[in-house]
Amino acid sequence: MVARGGAQLSCCVLMIVSLVIAAAPLGLSGGGERSHRDRMARRLETLIAPSSAADAPSISQAKSGSRVYHVIDYGADPKGVADSFAAISKAISDAFADAASGLSLIAGISNLGGVEVHLDGGVYVVTSPLTLPANGGNVKIHGGSLRAADDFPADRYLIELWAAHDSTAGGGASSSGYDYEYVTLRDLMLDSNYRGGGVAVVNSLRTSIDNCYIVHFTSDGVSVRSGHETFIRNSFIGQHITAGNDPGEKNFTGTGINLAGNDNAVTDVVIFSAAIGILVSGQANTLTGVHCYNKAAGWGGTGIYLKLPGLTQTRITNCYLDYTGIVSEDPVQLHVSGSFFLGDANVVLKSVKGVVKGVDIVDNMFSGGGKGVDIVRLDESNGKFVNVDQVTVRRNSVNGMTARSTAARATVEGNGTTWTVDFSPVLLFPGRIGHVQYTLLADSAFPSHALRNVSGNTVVIESDVAVQATLHVEVDQGLGSMDGV
C-alpha cells in the first residue's frame, strides 16, 4: 500500500510539473522563469521523498510503541507441547517494568497505564506458577488458555497475585499496605490439571476476574486473601467438567471460590463441581446471580458456606442453589433474598456460640421432593441458639418442603373459655415467641380475656366466661425488645 500510494503521488507530481512548464509562455520568461521552475522543482522533490516505499515506516517500527506484550513473540508454544513458563513469565516481567509516567495509583503501586499481556488465543503448558511482580497495577492478562504441567507444584496456583512468591520483590508491601491494584484477568481458560488451584489473589486492591473458565483444581478455583474489592464475574468454575448428574459427584473435593477477604463481589458465576461452591470467611461480601450445583447436599456438598461466626455481613441475592444449600455459622447480619432453592436445598443456621442476629431470609422460592425438609433449619449440635435478635424468616414461597418462619398467624373458632393455637409446626425457633397480637371476636357476649401462656410456641387465650368466639392470633419470634419494626 505504501509503494502504490507513493507511485500515485509521483504521477500527480509529474502532472503538476508538466502544467508548470506548460505555463511558462503565459508570462514567465528569462531568469525569472528559470528561477520559478527551480523553486517548484525543489518543492516537489520534498513532496515526493517522504512518500517513497523505502522511507515508509515498517510494521516492526509501528509496533515499537505498543504496550501489548504478545507471549508468542517471547517464544511461548501456543499448541501446548513445550513448557511456556519462561516465555510467559518474561512477557509479564517486561509488562510490569513498563510503568507509565504522570499517572498514579494508590501509594506505592506503579501505574502500568493499561499494559496488556496477550495470550494470542493459544493453549500453553506451564511447569510453575505465573507470579505477577509486586507493587504494580493497571494491567490486563487475557485471551488464551493455561494448563498446569504434570509436575506443577500441587500447593500453588496457575496465576498468582502473591508478593510472597515474587522472587523479584524488594521486601514487603507498598507504602499503602497493598501489593497490587487494578489487575484484570479476562477471557482465560485455566486448567489446573488436578495440580493445585486456578488463581490466587493476595493483598490486592480492585482486582477483576472476568469471563474465565477455571477447571480441574484440587484446592481452590479462585482464592482471595486479604486485600479489598476483588470482583469475580461472568465465569464458570468446576473441579470436573460436567453438567450435573455426574456419577463421580460424591467424590468431588475442593472449593470453587474461597473469599478470605473483605468487600468482594461474585456476580453471575456458575460453580458446577466442587465440595463447596463458595466459602466465605471475610466480611461485607456480596453474592449475586450465582448458580451452585457443585455437589448435592445429599452427598455432603455445600453451595455457599459462611464461616465467619459472629460477624457475617454477607448479602446473597438472586442466586440459584441447585440441590445444594447455604450454611452459616453464628450468622450476624446476613441477608438472603430473591433466590431459588431446588431439590430440597435449604438454609442451615449453625450454632457455634449460640448467636444469631440481624438475619433476613425473605422472598425466596423453595422447591423439594415432599420429604419434609425444612426450608430453614437450625443446627444446634454444638449448643442451642441463646442470643437471638432481629431474625426475620418470612414471605417465602414453598413447594414440597416444610415452611419455617419467624412469624405466623392463625384463626380458631370455639365455644368455651380457652382457645389454644400451636405454632410449633411453623415457627423456626423452639419455645420462643417474642410478640403476640390477638383479637377475640365473640358472637354476642363481651367477655374479659387475656393471654395466658406462650410456652412451647403454643398460644393460650382465656376468657372469664364461656362464649362462642373466633380467635385471630399473630406471633413473631424475631423482634428484639426495643425493635421499632
Q: Kindly report, residue by residue over 90-116, the tens digit of the pLDDT.
A: 999 999 997 766 678 999 899 999 999
| Span 34-59, pLDDT tens digits | 454 554 454 444 434 433 333 433 23
Q: Give the count of beta carbons closer than 10 Å to the beta carbon of residue 413.
A: 11
Q: Report whether pLDDT(289) > 80.
A: yes
Give me 387's grid cell. Answer: 442470643
Q: Report whether pLDDT(478) > 90.
A: no
Angle at which helix 30-48 crosses helix 2-22, to 10 degrees, equals 170
Q: Which of 117, 225, 233, 232 is nearest to 180 (CA)?
A: 225
What's the whole-number mean pLDDT along residues 435-442?
94
Model confidence band, residue 26 (pLDDT cutoffs 50, 70, 90): very low
Q: Report whether pLDDT(252) > 60.
A: yes
Res 1: pLDDT:
34
Q: Report whether pLDDT(386) > 90.
A: yes
Q: Which of 320, 457, 316, 477 is nearest to 394 (CA)?
A: 477
Q: Could you tell me what percent of the chain has a pLDDT over 70?
A: 83
Model confidence band, residue 179 (pLDDT cutoffs 50, 70, 90): very high
Give me 205's grid cell. Answer: 486492591
Architecture of domain 68-399: 3 Solenoid (2.160)
| Span 318-371, pLDDT tens digits | 999 999 999 999 999 999 999 999 999 999 999 999 999 999 999 999 999 999
Model confidence band, residue 445 (pLDDT cutoffs 50, 70, 90): confident
Q: How many CA atoms lie within 13 A of 399 on its CB side?
A: 8
Residues in CB range of 19: below 8 A, 6 or more apart = none
Res 221: pLDDT:
98
Answering whether pTM is above 0.95, one says no
By DSSP bridging, strand 204-210 and strand 180-191 are: parallel
Res 176: pLDDT:
72
Q: Report whether pLDDT(173) > 70.
A: no
Model confidence band, residue 215 (pLDDT cutoffs 50, 70, 90): very high
Q: Taking all residues of the chain, what is their mean pLDDT, rounded to a whole number?
A: 87
Model confidence band, residue 479 (pLDDT cutoffs 50, 70, 90): low
- Residue 197 Cα distances to 2, 243, 288, 459, angstroms: 50, 21, 23, 54
Q: Which of 123, 121, 105 is nearest to 113 (CA)?
A: 105
Name residue 197's beta-bridge partners. 157
Res 18: pLDDT:
40
Q: How many CA atoms lie within 13 A of 268 on its CB side?
A: 6
Q: Report whether pLDDT(128) > 90.
A: yes
